[in-house]
Chains A and B, each alone.
Chain A
Amino acid sequence: MLFRTMTVAAAMLALTAPMSAAGGADDDVLVINEDIEITTKAAASPLLDGHLDEVISGWHFRDDDTQAMEMDDFDNPGMIFVDQAIEVWNTAEGSEGKSCADCHGAPEEMAGVRAVYPKWNEDAGEVRTMQMQINSCRTERMGAEAWKYDAAPAINMEALLASVSRGMPVNVATDGPAAETWEKGKEMYYTRYGLLELSCANCHEQNYGNYIRADHLSQGQINAFPAYRLKNAKLNGVHDRFKGCIRDTRAETFSPGSPEFVALELYVASRGNGLDVEGPSVRN
């Protein structure tokens, strides 16, 4: 898993950004439980014309050992939290005395849901992330309290819903009523933030495969979230990761669950259209 042949995309990119340090995406293949084949490299959607030719899951940018942990549910520590979420799924809560299972049946019935979120909600007139939709279920249908954004119960439930959609391609809608939010997210992606004046694109579009000190830059795809990170031994949400990135530019960040991050999540998710849902993944 050292230096391998660069993809055409990476080679073209080299014209604009120096790819001096070796170590682009590797050529390994991700199969989970010797059963679910995951598409971890795909042709970029037309929305990315002029930006990226190929989209690559962050899995390809991690060490062999870390990669292997994701290939078996027993070895994947993220699945511990999925187990916890299954218990919550079947537990009645709130004034209506209902559990998730009472309306939705088994978690497996929700296969494919993770792949299309964030998604426009007609009744609410807003783009909703998975967690917003889960909270709407909790407050409106169960009479239970909403979970704090990216807190453990919410992220565990998101991981459960991701786990049953593994192997299904991400396909978020960017047109229609979601277009306005998507444009806002796109603008954020290319906006330089913080004292270091870095945009998402500076690292994850122009320099993926390179090293930023000891860290191997990926494309910043979010198809594999929630991600179990070895550094903090828990599942991490997309918004928490956004917050970490913006903080690293030495900027004041937005809050998890804020409209800004919802827009950014929609845009970044759309950049991964064609990659398979992979969460809960294992990362460094």
Chain B
Amino acid sequence: MADGVKPRVKVPSKAAAGEAITIKTLISHPMESGQRKDSSGNVIPRSIINRFTCEFNGESVIDITMEPAISTNPYFEFEATVPEAGEFKFTWYDDDGSVYKDSKKIEIG
């Protein structure tokens, strides 16, 4: 398993109903491509986050397939419309089967 993996997200705590808000997400991860070799010539096995999803109250907001060419510490910034108060759930899927989760509540106000 990759070391030091830490998800972080930035979501405003409040929004007007129907407002499009900006969400920023970042996960610290080496994103080893599987193309590189170590000093003795052996291939360093691929180890990346291969999928990232965001859901709001059970509804899919974004679902991303990630490929080996994406660099270290993948960062995504996207917009979401908030119709009601609720919770954003973020999930990252690692090649090694690990799943990293984070969530953020948002109020209407």
Contacts and interface: CB of A to CB of B under 8 A. Distances in A.
Interface string A71-90: 00011010010011000000
Given A74-B8, A74-B10, A80 B28 contact: yes
A106 interface: no
The binding surface of chain A is classed by DSSP as loop
A211 to B, nearest CB: 26
A274 to B, nearest CB: 33
Given A80-B73, A233-B72, A74 B4 contact: no
B36 interface: no
Contacts of A77: 73, 75
Interface residues of A, number: 7
Question: Interface residue tally of chain B, by bracket?
Answer: 10 to 19
B44 interface: no
Interface in A34-80: 74-75, 77, 80
Q: What 5 A-B pairs are tightest by C-beta distance, nearest first?
A: A74-B10, A233-B72, A80-B28, A74-B24, A77-B73
B49 to A, nearest CB: 15
Contacts of A74: 8, 10, 24, 26
Interface of A: 74-75, 77, 80, 83-84, 233
B90 to A, nearest CB: 14
A84 B24 contact: no
7 contacts: A74-B8, A74-B10, A75-B75, A77-B75, A80-B6, A83-B6, A233-B71
A75 B75 CA distance: 9
A84 B73 CA distance: 14
A233 B70 CA distance: 13
A135 B26 CA distance: 31
A84 B26 contact: no
The binding surface of chain B is classed by DSSP as strand
A74 B104 CA distance: 15
Contacts of A75: 24, 75
A275 to B, nearest CB: 28
B79 to A, nearest CB: 16
A283 B75 CA distance: 17
Contacts of B26: 74, 80
A185 B73 CA distance: 37
B71 A84 contact: no
A84 B6 CA distance: 10
A80 B10 CA distance: 14
Nearest to A77: B73
B27 to A, nearest CB: 10
A80 B26 CA distance: 10
Contacts of B4: 84
A233 B26 CA distance: 14
Nearest to A73: B10
A37 B6 CA distance: 29
B73 A233 contact: yes
Nearest to B72: A233
A176 B71 CA distance: 48
Interface string B10-53: 10000000000000101010000000000000000000000000
Interface in B39-90: 71-73, 75
A137 to B, nearest CB: 23
Chain B CB within 10 A, most for which of A77, A80, A84: A80
